[in-house]
Amino acid sequence: MTEAIRPQPGILDIALYEGGKAHLAGVANAVKLSSNENPYGPSDRAKEVFGRTVHSLHRYPVTDHASLRTAIAEVHRLDASRIICGAGSDEIITFLCQAYAGPGDEVVFTEHGFLMYRISSLAAGATPVEVPERERTADVDAILGACTGATRLVFLANPNNPTGTMVSAAEVARLAEGLPPQALLVLDGAYAEYVDGYDGGAALVDARQNVVLTRTFSKIYGLGGLRIGWGYGPRHVIDVLNRIRGPFNLSTTQLETAEAAVRDQDHVVRCRAENTRMRSWLAGALAELGVPSDTSMANFILARFASREEAEACDAYLNAQGLIVRRVAGYKLPHCLRITIGDEAACRQVAHAVAQFKGVR
């Protein structure tokens, strides 16, 4: 009987997403550097507002998200009417696939791109199309070469997770210009705030009708536990996405805390400066130990080892020292470890532990 009850095509092909490990057996105070979280957490202003929302837990949240959209628009100089908010940028990605891709359609992304692109494509019944990268960096010519009459969405994380690499604005514009007419380019800017002066592709969105961007409060704003994200796009796209967005997809706590966070740009500036400083230091320290990484523009580095075996052995050694990083074999990078940039003490612990590991080898 149960064989007659089947999910939509593609769903059983989804490999379950595994987040970064958060705990180590027998270790009380492990240092978690596996999920690209901000070690400094949210701003004091955001925490204060979060605490106040306890008094309105019995009330339904607003459905139009107007106050948060206005705050985002003012900070980033955008049109508030073309902003949509969701439960993390993951939900915006899901909306896009649900709205624009289905059976017979193709969704294009690069080989080391965010795992949710594949998952959301399959959930919508579309066919995921994976494009090779060049030296762990998106290759615009390869992406354009993979596009067909069936392509409906092209996802590009810029900077990319888990590589940390970034494509220039000129190359992104060339990609948008070269897409087939029925395709949307989605610029995933989860790590955009870590790049000083970068607009995440907003100017390109304003200049074209086939580009959408997504952003999140989970990274530099330190609100990963609340799940808040947003997207910005042409009016015709945002209108479509709002038709499938649940009216109460964000709580009052999410909305008001995110608004306080985005208005506290001093906190963002401080976190970006510290991340840049310690990212440079850690990349240099590991390179001196024979563990290279590409220039990262995000809040992590992708440490490359000689083999999968060495990467896994190093990961096990780091765990023994109470340090949790991320294996990325699921991203087709089995010889690498993704290491979140923590505070100075955490970065120095990682460098010291890798030095010990390389020494015993």
pTM (two decimals): 0.92
Question: How far apart, in whole angstroms, are the C-alpha atoms of residue 250 and residue 247?
Answer: 8
Q: Where are the domains of the chain?
A: 15-41+266-360, 44-264
Residue 27, pLDDT > 80, answer no
CB neighbours of 289 closer than 8 A, spacing ≥ 6? 351, 354, 355, 358
The two three-digit tokens of residue 129, written as one number: 């199309």
Q: Could you confirm whether domain 15-41+266-360 is CATH 3.20.20.80?
A: no
Quick one: fold of 44-264?
Answer: Aspartate Aminotransferase; domain 2 (3.40.640)
Residue 1, pLDDT > 70, answer no
Per-residue pLDDT reduced to its tens digit, 258-303: 999 999 999 999 999 999 999 999 999 999 999 999 999 999 999 9
Per-residue pLDDT reduced to its tens digit, 226-241: 999 999 999 999 999 9
The two three-digit tokens of residue 67, written as one number: 């106050």
E strands of the chain, at which residues? 31-32, 83-86, 106-110, 127-131, 151-157, 184-188, 211-216, 229-232, 300-304, 323-324, 326-327, 336-340
Tell me how crowded residue 98 is: count the other CB atoms within 10 A of its CB.
Answer: 17
Token pair 């902003």 is found at: 83
The two three-digit tokens of residue 279, written as one number: 């990212």
